[in-house]
Structure 1
């Protein structure tokens, strides 16, 4: 067995805590360094992580002892940090999206390929037992030929709980770019790549009111569409209808439903790792719960990085992340131009995850 893989974290904000819960004591990795524009925040993370040093971002990206950079910066910085890591000969695993625009995302993958390093990208929730069990049922033919899917993410808007929600309503924000990666990545795992999209979008309110915190009652402008819907045309002929909205109070829709010739699968929230997969077979009288049969059990954020280090090929990989970004930006472009848009990228369905008990993946070390 090899030595623990040395990881450096760039970005010590809120989401870093979720990753650290998974990675801090895992035998496959050592959190060797952390960097943040806020030096005090980086120092606080380092102080709570044995063997970890706080350092400036540029120093971390150049540090020859770091093998992989975990990129937890804001979306606008994803590409620049990834490119800096790649220039230093490092693998990169980042939060979604892969980059803020398609050209930057392509550049990240092209330079990684030229440098011989690997790129991984969230979401890794799709590697949990929820989406993976549903995929196993589809692949086993339980619902027959998959014909269509429906994915729904509907909330009244993050300004109700977020103290500083401005970025959700500025360019680069909105419900599709914020939450769409979970749903579209799941659909690619379930049904395969997308060849074209047709979209529509609306912006029914010009302002939002912050509902809590020190700025409660303050109005903020809405600069992006807050209800985006559309159709994904999959290469296998299936059609997925996707709705992401910051303009809905509540929905009874399942997060994802996949409809086949002989059955329907209700798939749990793709922003979570687990949840009940329910099956309604042709001529049945009720839904039945499918026991977990695939995926990392009891997983949490960071499992994608561990998978990248320990598996033959990363299942939360850069090619899928690029394809998802292409699909989302094309949906927005389709809505703006009023026409079907052909995608310029594709991605193979990642390898399925067998059922891996928590006790196993928490002790797995790199080969």
Structure 2
């Protein structure tokens, strides 16, 4: 079934002043900090409230960022909130997003958007009935590095993409995360937890997937937590932790995707795309920035100068150094799209197609059969330098590093 994005109607509810949409967040966990901290970089959105089933967590974030702490029901009933960001755990993304839409508000969800095609199609039906928008992370492919790759491909710099590889591999989350249990249960694992960054980027670079096949294994049925405060505790593994898949795209390209939490180290690039006239090396899609390299024919690999894209500017300090971090770019693009009456990039259609790709890999690994994709989508519109600059309150290059 084709799920191409239709031209939007004038969306509701509208902005209070015609330029800004009020945003509320459900889920006051760690990831909410990035949304609250980075949202002020962007036009079209204003963070106004935070809710959580743990009211103390909501109050703590509200106090830190100057917001209102509300119950979930209060936030959904608040006329000052136009868009609700769903930052709950993946297992309840569908139920929470459904409540948001039924309350008459637009929804932007963390990844994975939903855990089945059926859930996504139900949300699509509810959104269309209410003339509402649904968007979903990841938005890292809007980063300067990945948009530089997009521009290279669209310009024909390496010719038509015919094949490639994608590797998302590590030794899991139990060595650093304080509560890693859910990472190893259905709805997570390397494909549904980290895979969305890779699949979403492949879709925006190459287009939709036609069919796929995969092998899936679970080398360890339990994991030992190495991080504090639960070091030494055993946790069960309920989902495959190594998946090797092949994706056949409608364009004709065939990409090998390997996702694993059973690998100590490897030497593979995150994504390599092979064109008729050359190769492009794509940086880690979990990040907005990174180095882009290219070959032409049989010539040596050439590192390209960093594109002067506002979402390439390093603005976030970590112990390893500075990174480009523009989380909420997808949310802001959706808000501006609502105001401007155009499609948004991190759309329901592309997110749902990515979900079917990821769940299809797990299904193929379980059944040993090829999976033909039911959904499809348009490639999200490219986000060039001028378009990205227009999204921002001011150019990030003029701001001090966070």
Give the TM-score taking structure 1 as reference length: 0.95
In the TM superposition, residue 290 of structure 1 has moved relative to its aligned partner by 4.7
Whole-Å separation in 2 of the counterparts to 1:286 and 1:93:
39
Whole-Å separation in 1 of the counterparts to 2:374 and 2:248:
13
Corresponding position of 1:305: 331
Corresponding position of 1:196: 211
Corresponding position of 2:398: none
Contact kept, 8 Å, 2:43 with 2:391, in 1: the verdict is no
Asked if 1:122 corresponds to 2:137, the answer is: yes
Corresponding position of 2:362: 332
Whole-Å separation in 1 of the counterparts to 2:309 and 2:326:
15
Whole-Å separation in 1 of the counterparts to 2:20 and 2:200:
29
Which stretch shifts more, 277-286 or 152-161? 277-286
Match of 1:66 among 71, 81, 105: 81
Contact kept, 8 Å, 1:297 with 1:357, in 2: the verdict is no
CA RMSD in angstroms, aligned pairs only:
1.7
Give the match's secondary structure for 1:158.
coil
Give the match's secondary structure for 1:198.
strand
Asked if 1:167 corresponds to 2:182, the answer is: yes
Corresponding position of 1:155: 170
In the TM superposition, residue 357 of structure 1 has moved relative to its aligned partner by 8.5
Contact kept, 8 Å, 1:136 with 1:293, in 2: the verdict is no
Contact kept, 8 Å, 1:130 with 1:295, in 2: the verdict is no
Asked if 1:2 corresponds to 2:18, the answer is: yes
Whole-Å separation in 2 of the counterparts to 1:38 and 1:275:
37
Corresponding position of 1:180: 195
In the TM superposition, residue 360 of structure 1 has moved relative to its aligned partner by 4.8
In the TM superposition, residue 293 of structure 1 has moved relative to its aligned partner by 6.0
Corresponding position of 2:319: none
Contact kept, 8 Å, 2:223 with 2:234, in 1: the verdict is yes
Contact kept, 8 Å, 1:147 with 1:261, in 2: the verdict is yes
Whole-Å separation in 2 of the counterparts to 1:61 and 1:280:
51
CA deviations 1:27-80 (Å, max 9, x no partner) are 532212110011011111112233x21111012112222110011111112111
Contact kept, 8 Å, 1:173 with 1:224, in 2: the verdict is yes
Give the TM-score taking structure 2 as reference length: 0.87
Which stretch shifts more, 259-268 or 299-308? 299-308
Whole-Å separation in 2 of the counterparts to 1:85 and 1:22:
23
Contact kept, 8 Å, 2:84 with 2:100, in 1: the verdict is yes
Corresponding position of 1:46: 62
Whole-Å separation in 1 of the counterparts to 2:389 and 2:192:
34
Give the match's secondary structure for 1:300.
coil
Distance 1:25 1:266, change over 3 A: closer
Whole-Å separation in 1 of the counterparts to 2:33 and 2:62:
12
Corresponding position of 1:353: 383
In the TM superposition, residue 146 of structure 1 has moved relative to its aligned partner by 0.7
In the TM superposition, residue 362 of structure 1 has moved relative to its aligned partner by 2.6
Match of 1:215 among 215, 230, 245: 230
Asked if 1:316 corresponds to 2:342, the answer is: no
Corresponding position of 2:28: 12
Whole-Å separation in 2 of the counterparts to 1:295 and 1:24:
15
Contact kept, 8 Å, 2:49 with 2:69, in 1: the verdict is yes
In the TM superposition, residue 205 of structure 1 has moved relative to its aligned partner by 1.4
Within a 5 Å distance, the mapping from 1:212-361 to structure 2 comes to 212-292=227-307, 296-298=311-313, 299-311=325-337, 312-356=342-386, 360-361=390-391
Distance 1:188 1:309, change over 3 A: same
Size of the aligned set, in residue pairs, is 363
Which stretch shifts more, 304-313 or 341-350? 304-313
Whole-Å separation in 2 of the counterparts to 1:327 and 1:147:
19
**Runs of at least 5 residues in structure 1 that lack an aligned partner in the other structure:** none
Within a 5 Å distance, the mapping from 1:55-134 to structure 2 comes to 55-134=70-149
